[in-house]
Amino acid sequence: GSQLEDMAPRIVEHPTDLLVSRGEPATLSCKAEGRPSPAVEWYKDGERVETDREDPRSHRTLLPGGSLFFLRILHGRRGKPDEGVYVCVARNYLGEATSRNASLEVAGG
């Protein structure tokens, strides 16, 4: 029984709610296990979050472990593009796992 069996993903570290000041960096944690290693994607209010993998100019970076790092929280008169409810989804060929919801709020209106 020493064969390593493939496993569907599971989330071992969930993101937690964040309150961040405008312009500050922030990290939404997510760590997933599975075999083969699952690919992690983030969704905000149900829409996929683009990171610097899709857009090199993005202020959001997907860290190697699966966490989402914001260089600085964007927040302007025209809106709060980073504020919302985030979930992290880990997938491999056996299935997917979704983290708990984490809300990111920008402090100071």
Give the pLDDT of residue 80: 79
Q: How far apart are CA 39 and CA 89, in angstroms?
A: 8
Write out pLDDT tens, residues 27-61: 999 999 999 999 999 999 999 999 998 999 999 99
Give the pLDDT of residue 34: 97
Give 85's pLDDT tier (boundaries 50, 70, 90): very high
Q: How far apart are CA 11 and CA 41, in angstroms?
A: 12
The verdict on residue 61 lying in a domain is yes
- For the chain, how many structural domains are there in total? 1
For residue 1, pLDDT over 80 is answered with: no
The verdict on residue 51 lying in a domain is yes
Give the pLDDT of residue 108: 75
Q: Which CATH number fits the domain that encloses residue 78?
A: 2.60.40.10
The verdict on residue 43 lying in a domain is yes
The pTM (predicted TM-score) of the whole model is 0.90
Give the pLDDT of residue 2: 64
The residue among 104, 77, 96, 99 whose CA lies nearest residue 9 is 96
Tell me the residue range of the domain where 100 lies.
7-107
